Structure formats: structure tokens, C-alpha cells
Amino acid sequence: MSPEPLLNVEGLVKRFGGFRALDGVSFHLNPGEVLGLVGPNGSGKTTCINVICGLYAADGGSVTYNGRSIVGEKSHRLVKSGINRTFQSPRPFLSLTVRENVEVAAHYGDPKPGFDIDALLALLELDSYAQRPAAELNSAQQKTLDLARAMATEPRLLLVDELAAGLNPAELSRMADRLRALADGGMALLVVEHLMGFIDKVTDRVVVMAAGKEFFGGTLADATRDPEVIRVFLGGGHHG
């Protein structure tokens, strides 16, 4: 019998006016697993993350984390219970230093006592910028800072929203290794990404979405052979 998943999303619905951004999405995620959420632009991937982390209220369906429903729970409470995320466009606290960005999360995000901010900054190669304002970092560094801030809360579930976009090949490879290392340490990761090479390197399996619905679940290799996935990604009619 398989263990209870850390995250279970069932029939999730999110409407913006008459538009159904999420139309009954279901998937699950186990501890230590990396699930890729892929699909064309506008398929609902980021909306899905926004609902799970409490930024948007769900209009239907359920989200269960660690065996309890988290629908309607405030973001900062979800952070304390072990859920965090990164953003598609980095969103650091621009007026604070790099170290202060992480310090806020390390103080309010309830990591274990003795959490070492400097060790985290060194791990993510941000230590030499620690006292610089976050506004002075380039986009790739700000994305890494987003990741550092999320990691400072010691999440059990990390929602990664297009972290790889804009990174050069060397940065991509390092970022993929970092995410894999987090999963190897037991963290569950939901990775939204367009770069299939990155998805291939990082994820254990993928869920393919289109028009707010998931229509494929399995390995990326199987997905690339699935005629419906090919049709959605390369054109030839809309799924659904």
C-alpha cells in the first residue's frame, strides 16, 4: 500500500469571472518526489500554485496537505506549516539586503532553532552579496534569492514557478542539481516549467495541463510519445 501523499489536489476549480482558469485539476505529490507541471501558456499552472499556497481562494475541489484540508488558509500560516514557493518573476524585498531578505523568512517562517542563514547563503552562492541591497542583484540572482527565502522556512513542500527561465546553461545545471538535492533530502517539489530539458533532469513524473485541466500523468518520456500531448503542445486543435 502506497503512503499517503503529502499533497493531494482533487477536482480543483478556480474561476476569474466567467473564465475557468482551473477546471477540475487533480494530482498528488509524495514526500521526496518532484512533480513537473507542464502545459502551454494559460493552461493554469501558475494559478494552480497560487491556489495551493493560499494566494487565490479555490472555487471548488479540495487541496489536502499532510492529511488536512488547506483550502482557504492564509499564506503565512501555510508557510509555517511547511509550504513555500518561488515566483515566475522574482519578488525579493528590494530595499532590504540579501541577508535581511532571508532573515525575515528565517525569523517568521518558523524553521528549526539554530537555522544557519549564512550557511544557506553560501550554499546558494549568495554569500558574497549578503550585505548588498537585493535591488542590485541581477534577475538570476534574484531568483536564487527567492529560492533562498523559501528554503529559509524549511518547507516540506516547495512550489517552484519557472525558476529556470532566463538562466544560462551553467546556472540551469546548478539550479537543477540544487532542486534534486532538496528532493533527495525529503522535500516534495512541484515544478512549473517550460524548459523540457530542465524538467527531464529534475522531475520524477509530470502532469500535463491544458485549458485548466490535467490530461496526462506519467513520465516525461511517455508524455513526449503521447499523441494528445503532442497535439496540445504543437497545435492541431484545442484539448477539451
Give yes or no for a contact between 45 and 160, defined as CB atoms under 8 angstroms apart. no
Least Å distance between CB 1 and another protein? Answer: 34
Per-residue contact string for residues 25-54; x = within reach of another protein by CB under 8 A? ----------------------------xx
Per-residue contact string for residues 97-136; x = within reach of another protein by CB under 8 A? --xxx-xxx-xxxx-----xxx--x-----xxxxx-----
One DSSP character per residue, 23-91 reads: EEEEEEE-TT-EEEEE-STTSSHHHHHHHHTTSS--SEEEEEETTEE-TT--HHHHHHTTEEE--SS--
User: Considering only residues 13, 96, 165, 196, which one is a binding residue for another protein as defined by CB under 8 A?
Assistant: 96
Q: How far apart are CA 24 and CA 109, in angstroms?
A: 31
Label the pairing between strands 205-210 and 188-192. unpaired
Least Å distance between CB 35 and another protein? Answer: 20
Q: How far apart are CA 46 and CA 134, in angstroms?
A: 24
Number of residues that bind another protein (CB under 8 A): 41
* Interactions with another protein, residue window 73-92 (CB under 8 A): 74-76, 79-80, 84-85, 87, 91-92
Residues that bind another protein (CB under 8 A): 53-55, 74-76, 79-80, 84-85, 87, 91-96, 99-101, 103-105, 107-110, 116-118, 121, 127-131, 146, 149-150, 152-153
